[in-house]
Amino acid sequence: MDTSFIILILIIVLGLSFDFINGFHDTANTIATSVSTRALQPTTAIFLAGIMNFCGALLFTGVAQTITKNIVDPFSLENGSLVILAALLSAIIWNLLTWFFGIPSSSSHALVGSIAGAAIASAGVGILNYSGFITIIQALIISPVVAFGLGFLMMKLFKIFFQHANLISTNKGFRRFQVVTAALQSFSHGTNDAQKTMGIMTMALITAGYQTTTDIPLWVRVCVALAMGFGTMIGGWRIIRTVGRKITKLKPINGAAADLSSAIIIFGFTSLRLPVSTTHVISSAIMGVGSAQRFRDVKWGVARRIVVTWVITLPITALTAGLLYLLIIQIG
């Protein structure tokens, strides 16, 4: 059997494994607030997230195409299959480490950093598509800042509109509304996060010579969506505890404001075909909502630990992927 075909199969398996891990690492963020406020039972919330992620992943491909071609040109990538193999291994290792410690790190940063690091190890710094790469980094940086601001504003507006409402009836109404916002947030997650793995799998097909365009095959979209859905249903509890309980105390009105804010941001960037970190966006929206309620209610120590992990993810995964690529070349 051709070696390149074996490597392609391994990449596809690792890609789906990455998306499975992404499911229990990142998708839990989309339902953490609704579980924390008891708007949804955990089992119901996880099932809802899996279904909505699957639907979102199938209906959009813009972000996947951005990942396929905007970091490096897959048609001119030297040892492209090995680059992608090293990138996936690096991203998976980082995701497992941060999941083990219950830290909501960014799978997006891990994947983007890993692709860049492995490509540079293969062909030098000139291989990067700097225009596209910088645009992606800008989106990853700007989106959580905007999410914090929108979460803060959304919570302030909710407080004004419902300041004279009965507390019990308001909580009951927002718990019902959170079913909708949790579904929206999970759907938006599928439109953006699931597509990153689709992009890297399409890169693998191109570099192995099995595809000549950056269009995302339907079978790739279906397989990735299924992998993420199963991952969501199996292992999201560590991240749910951190995002839903440890950043700030959430009531139904807070959870609804955070969910709605983050869904709007993710949809907005998806429409621009730009990848964002749903972890960044959701956590930042929760921080913004908590700050609007009472600044001291936000557990800034936990928030600081999350932010530090965000900052170090891209350079660490880039370095790891580069070293893995060099190791794979030596073994080969």
Half-sphere exposure of 170 (CA within 13 A, CB side): 14
Instruction: Please return the burial class of 167, using the count of CB atoms within 10 Å of its CB with bins 0-12, 13-18 and 19+.
Output: exposed
Positive or negative, the CA dihedral 169, 174, 177, 178 is negative
- Give the number of other CB atoms < 10 A from CB of residue 43: 10
CB neighbours of 202 closer than 8 A, spacing ≥ 6?
64, 65, 68, 74, 211, 214, 215, 216, 217, 220
Above 70 in pLDDT, residue 50? yes
CB neighbours of 200 closer than 8 A, spacing ≥ 6?
15, 67, 68, 84, 87, 88, 111, 115
CB neighbours of 27 closer than 8 A, spacing ≥ 6?
49, 50, 53, 186, 189, 193, 228, 231, 232, 236
Distance of CA 202 to the CA centre of its chain: 18
Q: List, for residues 196-206, the tens digit of each pLDDT value.
A: 889 999 999 99
Q: Which two tokens stand for residue 284?
A: 């930042």
Q: 37 or 291: whose pLDDT is higher?
A: 291
pLDDT band with cut points at 50, 70 and 90 for residue 243: very low
Q: 258 or 332: whose pLDDT is higher?
A: 258
Tell me the average pLDDT across 4-32. 81
Domain boundaries, the chain: 3-331
- Give the pLDDT of residue 122: 93
Tell me the average pLDDT across 264-272. 94
